[in-house]
Amino acid sequence: MATSRPAPAPLSATPADRPVYVIGAGPGGLAAAYALRARGIRAVILEKADRVGASWRGHYDRLRLHTTRRLSALPGLAIPRRFGRWVARDDVVRYLEKYAEHHELEIVTGVEVHRVERTPDGTGWLLHASGGRELTGSAVVVATGFNHTPRIPDWPGREAYDGDLLHAGEYRDAGPYAGRDVLVVGIGNTGAEIAVDLVEGGAARVRLAVRTVPHIVRRSTLGWPAQYSGVLVRRLPVALVDRLSRLQARVGVPDLSAHGLPRPDTGLYSRVKQGAIPVQDVGLIDAVRRGKVEIVAAVEAFEDGKVVLADGSRLSPDAVIAATGYVRALEGLVGHLGVLDDRGRPVTRAGRTPAEAPGLYFTGFTNPISGMFREMALDAGRIAKAVAKRLR
């Protein structure tokens, strides 16, 4: 059931009547725009696609939020109860559409921002956008998304490989792979779920190439979602959380060593701090135990039409699906401002701005175990508070 909509404060006049520009109409951008509007600040969302939630529309069919409906709502509007506890991809899209409509957000679609820089007088931000547009704002919120640009490793021989090779971002369902031999590369949440989807969709053989053994957690144990634990432990010492999660894994997750997935030798939360989120089980454990998903070594190269693995073995699958992640692709947009770390990620988030770029905010570029939607909702309030303080 939707929450009632509070009346927005009167729109304030930003310097020279400049709005705050929000780049990206995904959940992070929508939430930030609402929070700004609720404080009486005009926010204009610029979206390169023709609709909100473009990234979510492109995900594979079976995807559901791995976080609960209650803790995934953006500020000012609950996710409908009829969507269930684990919200499906299409329902996420419906929610984002409703969110933009419900809050009457100002969204301009079909506009891609290529570069952001300070205005010559230093009082605001100049956005260079498609169609030769130059837009001036009082502040900028970058919300272009964690999963922005698909990344496929530059494996030797990849360009000469004439078999089916695609990024997981192009995968939709198992239909085209029924009766075929498929190799999935990468055991993050996406790779693990696609492997299960292929098994259930009738693929003849499914192998999963693993470089680093992941931590696997149950999405829910006795009705207690893993997300709740993720929220509770965020402020605890890393070493303590590592010990607790190790104990929990021994109790709740079977040892898959005989199937090629030994227990990790590093702590779960230590991995999270390095940017590696645990894999939430949506059928992988059972599929591996039954031999439906075979674990193989990491991919090293392509040679003579075959896939060469790190252990020297060679495979001849009918298709290779690279679940090898995404890059943020922020270098062209803001890289010249000195606001990115050596991995291309923003050095600040939420209500904090880089010292070199006051008035430039980022949201949605972390992937915490407490849930990305939840964190973006919190970020939105912090950003709006910081912007309001700056404009005063």
CB 139 within 8 A of CB 20: yes
Examine residue 9 and state whether it is found in any structural domain, yes or no: no
Which residues does the chain have with pLDDT short of 50? Answer: 1-14, 16
| Residue 197 C-beta-side C-alpha neighbours within 13 Å | 21
Tell me the helix, strand and coil percentages in the chain, rounded to 5.
30, 25, 45
With residue 240 as reference, give the H or E element that holds it.
Answer: helix 238-252
Asked whether residue 173 falls in the same domain as residue 318, the answer is yes
334: domain CATH number is 3.50.50.60
| Interatomic CA distance for residues 77 and 99, integer angstroms | 7
Structure tokens at 372: 């990305």
Calculate the alpha carbon distances from 37 to 41, 48, 381, 392 in Å: 5, 21, 11, 15
Angle at CA 116, nearest 5°, toward 114 and 117? Answer: 140
In a domain, 6, yes or no: no
- Residue 8 lies inside a defined structural domain of this protein: no
Outline where DSSP puts E strands in 77-180. 106-109, 113-118, 125-129, 133-137, 139-142, 149-150, 164-167
Residue 1 is assigned to a structural domain of this protein = no
Q: Mutual orientation of helices 89-102 and 27-38 as an angle, nearest 10°? A: 20
Looking at 325, 345, 363, which one is the last position of a domain?
A: 325
Same domain, 290 and 374: no
Same domain for 336 and 382, yes or no, is yes
Whether residue 275 is found in the same domain as residue 358: no
Q: Select from 325, 347, 362 the last residue of a domain.
A: 325
Predicted local distance difference test score (pLDDT) of residue 147: 82
- For residue 176, being part of any structural domain is answered with yes
Q: Coil, strand, or helix at residue 70?
A: coil
User: Which of 293, 325, 357 is at the close of a domain?
Assistant: 325
Write the CB contacts of 109 (distance below 8 Å, at least 6 apart in sequence). Answer: 25, 47, 48, 49, 50, 51
Give me the pLDDT at residue 6, please: 46
Residue 164 and residue 127 share a domain: no
Residue burial 83-120, b: 16+ Cβ < 10 Å; e: rest: beebbebebbbbbbeebbeebebebeeebebeebebee
Distances 384 to 91, 141, 352 between C-alpha atoms, Å: 27, 10, 11
Are 129 and 237 in the same domain?
A: no
pLDDT of residue 237: 94
pLDDT of residue 4: 42
Contact status, residue 362 vs residue 380, Cβ threshold 8 Å: no
Asked if 37 contacts 5 with a C-beta cutoff of 8 angstroms, the reply is no
Residue 201 and residue 320 share a domain: yes
Do 297 and 359 belong together in one domain? no
Q: Report the candidate in 59, 63, 71 with the shortest Cα–Cα distance to residue 88.
A: 63
Contacts of residue 17, Cβ cutoff 8 Å, sequence gap at least 6 = none
**What pLDDT is attached to residue 16?**
45
**Domain count of the chain?**
2
Question: Which run of H or E residues covers position 23?
Answer: strand 20-23
In a domain, 317, yes or no: yes
Find the domain containing 45 and state its range: 15-148+328-391
- Distance from C-alpha of 288 to C-alpha of 170, rounded to nearest angstrom: 24
**What does the alpha-carbon distance between residue 63 and residue 55 come to, in Å, rounded to a whole number?**
12
For residues 133 and 168, membership in a common domain is answered with no
**Other CB atoms closer than 10 Å to residue 6's CB: what's the count?**
9
**307-328 as b/e: b if 16+ CB within 10 A:** bbbeeeeebebebbbbbbbbeb
> Residue 313 domain-assigned?
yes
The Cα–Cα gap between 262 and 254 comes to 10
> Is 205 in the same domain as 312?
yes
Who contacts 147 (Cβ-Cβ below 8 Å, separation ≥6)?
55, 169, 326
pLDDT tens, 104-138? 999 999 999 999 999 998 889 999 999 999 999 99
Q: CA 352: distance to chain centroid?
A: 21
Same domain assignment for residues 55 and 190: no
Tell me, yes or no, whether 165 and 302 share the same domain: yes
Structure-token match 């790190």, residue found: 310
Q: Judge whether 206 lies within some domain.
A: yes
pLDDT of residue 376: 95
